[in-house]
Structure 1
């Protein structure tokens, strides 16, 4: 018994080759630099009852006192000096939960409603409601810019005297 097999020719499976040119791009930029020449300082407070100190971070920082507090000393908003790339979008992220915890000899005090102001060299583009992220455009041709941060310090009526300090993190990213 003979078996016959038919094999297709090799050319029956050959397909025409196609090629396409594809462009790939990347941009390499210098990393941003960030420094903090001035820390946030609410000054000296005499507590005669509960109240708040609202620090507005502008070119000339101001503090407004409410309640039964007597404020003495200069209010200093935290200042940040940075270098980025001209016409790049950046994102500044405020502290977690938009607050800073101050610890000392008594109950913790909270700086809430952390705000950014006193900007130079950058243009504010957007802020998504209560979001911690604020987007800016670097408009200074040499890439340098400055911003300040303030907020609202809440002081309890029975706040123990002493020095209260806290740390917070600010993130700066290209957007």
Structure 2
């Protein structure tokens, strides 16, 4: 009986081992894995530099003042008031030009100054600059990695503005879309 008992124990141990191996194989077959590549592309940073300044030109101002608009196409419009531009000596009115550079074919947003943030100061009262416009308007495209942005605005001239040179500064911001 002892021999039978030993055979029974041995058979049980063998069967248990086989069932554990089979169970381990079954669990191993229940998982799978895959791999993926990771990548990144570093692009040219966007940059902006001033090429030329915004120049409103020369004006004579009467008793009521008014405003003068300068378009992105360098066209002057006297909107109101007693303002006159000399025919022979206009002072070379021109929109500001900014060179934008960066990654080719990328688009970017243009942010212009808000009304009330820019003034020209000089011999008399400060003259607010408002209504900034750009060409391209709100978004540009860096064809071959570059594009010029032209900026115009409206100069608000006070009544009987004191003669003299007036200057101020403004910023244009660009950012990739």
> So what's the TM-score if we normalise by structure 1?
0.71
Question: After superposition, what is the alpha-carbon deviation per residue over 1:17-67, rounded to whole angstroms, capped at 9, x for unaligned?
Answer: 886645544321112332212100111111113111111112xx1001132
- 5+ long unaligned stretches in structure 2: 1-29
The question of 1:94 aligning with 2:112 is answered yes
The 8 Å contact of residues 115 and 129 in structure 2, kept in 1 or not, is answered as: no
Match of 1:69 among 83, 89, 92: 83
Residues 44/21 of structure 1: CA separation in 2 closer, same or farther (3 Å cut) = same
| Larger Cα-atom Rg | 2
2:98 match: secondary structure: strand
The separation in 1 between residues aligned to 2:37 and 2:114, in whole angstroms, is: 40
Residues 40/19 of structure 1: CA separation in 2 closer, same or farther (3 Å cut) = same
Cα RMSD, aligned residues only: 2.5
The question of 1:27 aligning with 2:29 is answered no
Question: After superposition, what is the alpha-carbon deviation per residue over 1:86-145, rounded to whole angstroms, capped at 9, x for unaligned?
Answer: 22121111124475211112111011010002x4xxxx6xxxxxxxxx23332x2x2121
The 8 Å contact of residues 99 and 114 in structure 1, kept in 2 or not, is answered as: no
Match of 1:166 among 152, 163, 168: 168
Moved over 6 A (4+): none
- 5+ long unaligned stretches in structure 1: 1-15, 125-133
What is residue 136 of structure 1 aligned with on the other side?
Answer: 140
Residues 24/103 of structure 1: CA separation in 2 closer, same or farther (3 Å cut) = farther
The separation in 2 between residues aligned to 1:21 and 1:95, in whole angstroms, is: 49
- Equivalences, count: 145
